[in-house]
Amino acid sequence: MVQEHRPAAISAEVERTSGDLKRAAISGWAGTAMEFMDFQLYSLAAAIVFNQIFFPEVSPAVGLIAAMGTYGVGYVARLAGAIYFGRMGDRIGRKKVLFITITLMGASTTLIGVLPTYAQVGLLAPALLVLLRLIQGFGAGAEIAGATVMLAEYAPPKKRGVIASLVSLGTNTGTLAATGIWAVLLATLSEEQLLSWGWRIPFLFSFVLMIFAIWIRTHLKESPVFESRADLTDEGIALTHDELKAAAAKPEEASALEAALHQRKGKAFFIALGLRFGQAGNSGLIQTFLIGYIATTMLLDRSIATNAILYSSIIGFATVPIVGLLGDRFGRRPVYMVLTLVSAILAFPLLNLIQQGNPVALTISMILLHNLAVLGLFSLESVTMAELFGARTRFTQLALAKEIGGILATAIGPLLAATLTAVTGSWWPIAAMLVGYSLITLVSAFVSPEVRGRDLVRLEDAV
């Protein structure tokens, strides 16, 4: 039975102060920084030491594949988290979900740092590692989507791209912090120290950022767009589908609610999924697999690749807001298409330079690939997906697009790349995969409507 309330066809605007916007920005930055620090801590550990700590009874190549597999299983849990927490975020609000997700991520990451090794407990060690990776993934499945939605819904329309890019800066901060920690460990610890206790330090350190992020979110107000929605009850909870259908039948309430009820479903989601492919796939290849490949296959010093990502993350603090500004100035579509086209064109030449093994050329090539094909695309992704979806299902659809794209590209990509490079004995499958991911996003941007500055209170999707 429909509750007695009056959802307005055009909702009153909910006011937020500049201080509220700052808290939302810090909250989104901190949560995303923590997610990507956890992500990079784990991916670097999987590439550098987990094959020896948790899979020591197999060959180095098979151990790398197994480590990449444990890295990938978290994406299955991320999908479950996206479904569960995405629906919760659209139904009861963004703030409550963001508090839960940050806690789950931080606790599971910290516990990885106290796990026993294979030498201590045998097969129980990798089993516990997978379990914690699943819990970590379940929380992370809605974290970045929620942070993106919250900040985009807080931001003024004309500055939405550059403000929402702060979420992307969180990813850069997290990647930088994790890579920096690993770079210091590799530079200061012996092999024996790293494998016996040094690998635990990065995971235990994440506890500090978790406490800070939780504290910020206890002082955060709900999204003004969520509170302005036309489909909320007097208690601030979204109508179910049946309640929406009944309310939309009332003439005085029909315009906004009927638009949400009868919108064409699916097209915006598949466009968003395609946009996600380039950034997600390229990230898994460049930030995860390529580091392990350089160390285990090319037999170069492990610090060369980690330092390259470290330098690239520093440069990314300029790249991310600049791309956000360009998206606000010229639109999302043209900037997307330029970045993906350039990434595809440069993939083979830059991978060829990396394969030659010169540390300087390798570092410059990784910086270019990382900034163009990962950080630049992610700056656009943070706001474009939020603008593509209507307010009624924005959190759920955005989270699902990110996580399904993550499973299909980021999780499977490194495992597939490890297999293909082992079979072919060559680097070209890495370049070919980079080209493929970039072209999928190029086509998706081409068929997408321009969504710059779209009214985010609207309940229906942009297409």
List, in order of start, the domains of the chain with CATH numbers: 18-226+264-447 (1.20.1250.20)
Under a CB-based contact definition with an 8 Å cutoff, are residues 161 and 328 in contact? yes
- Return the pLDDT at 261: 62
- Return the pLDDT at 400: 93
Tokens linked to 151: 């900040």
Angstrom distance (rounded) from CA 441 to CA 401: 13
pLDDT at 2 exceeding the cut of 60: no
The band of 208, judged by pLDDT with boundaries at 50, 70 and 90, is: confident
174 closest CA partner among 200, 141, 138, 213 = 213
Tokens linked to 147: 């942070």
Q: With the C-alpha atoms ordered 177, 183, 189, 195, is the resulting torsion angle positive or negative?
A: positive
151 closest CA partner among 26, 39, 236 = 26
CA distances 173 to 126, 166, 168, 310, 406, Å, are 29, 10, 9, 10, 20
pLDDT at 3 exceeding the cut of 60: no
DSSP output for 295-346: HHTS---HHHHHHHHHHHHHHHHHHHHHHHHHHHHH-HHHHHHHHHHHHHHH
pLDDT at 338 exceeding the cut of 80: yes
Alpha helices in 356-427 (DSSP H): 359-370, 377-388, 394-405, 412-424
Q: What is the mean pLDDT of residues 397-415?
A: 86
Angstrom distance (rounded) from CA 113 to CA 327: 40
Angstrom distance (rounded) from CA 429 to CA 421: 6
pLDDT at 66 exceeding the cut of 70: no
Angstrom distance (rounded) from CA 438 to CA 277: 7
Q: Computed over its alpha carbons, how large is the radius of gyration of the chain?
A: 22
How high is the mean pLDDT of the chain?
Answer: 85
- 62-77 residues labelled b (16+ CB within 10 A) or e (exposed): ebbbbbbbbbbbbbbb
Tokens 């603008």 belong to 387
The band of 9, judged by pLDDT with boundaries at 50, 70 and 90, is: very low
- Return the pLDDT at 427: 92
Q: What is the pLDDT of residues 82-96, one digit of tens each?
A: 999 999 999 999 998
Q: Is 337 exposed, middle or buried (0-12, 13-18, 19+ CB in 10 A)?
A: middle
pLDDT at 39 exceeding the cut of 80: no
Q: Which of 68-77, 195-204, 219-228, 395-404 has the lowest mean pLDDT?
A: 68-77
The band of 7, judged by pLDDT with boundaries at 50, 70 and 90, is: very low
pLDDT at 112 exceeding the cut of 60: yes
- Return the pLDDT at 236: 79
Q: Is 89 exposed, middle or buried (0-12, 13-18, 19+ CB in 10 A)?
A: buried
pLDDT at 235 exceeding the cut of 80: no
Under a CB-based contact definition with an 8 Å cutoff, are residues 336 and 445 in contact? yes
Q: How many CA atoms lie within 13 A of 53 on its CB side?
A: 29
pTM above 0.85, yes or no: no
pLDDT at 5 exceeding the cut of 80: no
Under a CB-based contact definition with an 8 Å cutoff, are residues 373 and 150 in contact? no
CA distances 64 to 68, 71, 162, Å, are 6, 11, 38
Angstrom distance (rounded) from CA 354 to CA 323: 26
Tokens 């208690």 belong to 235
- Return the pLDDT at 49: 80
170 closest CA partner among 120, 216, 113 = 216
Q: What is the pLDDT of residues 140-165, one digit of tens each?
A: 888 889 999 999 999 999 999 999 98
The band of 318, judged by pLDDT with boundaries at 50, 70 and 90, is: very high
- Return the pLDDT at 140: 87
Q: What is the mean pLDDT of residues 9-13?
A: 46
Using alpha carbons only, what angle is made at residue 4 by residues 2 and 9, rounded to the nearest 5 degrees?
A: 90
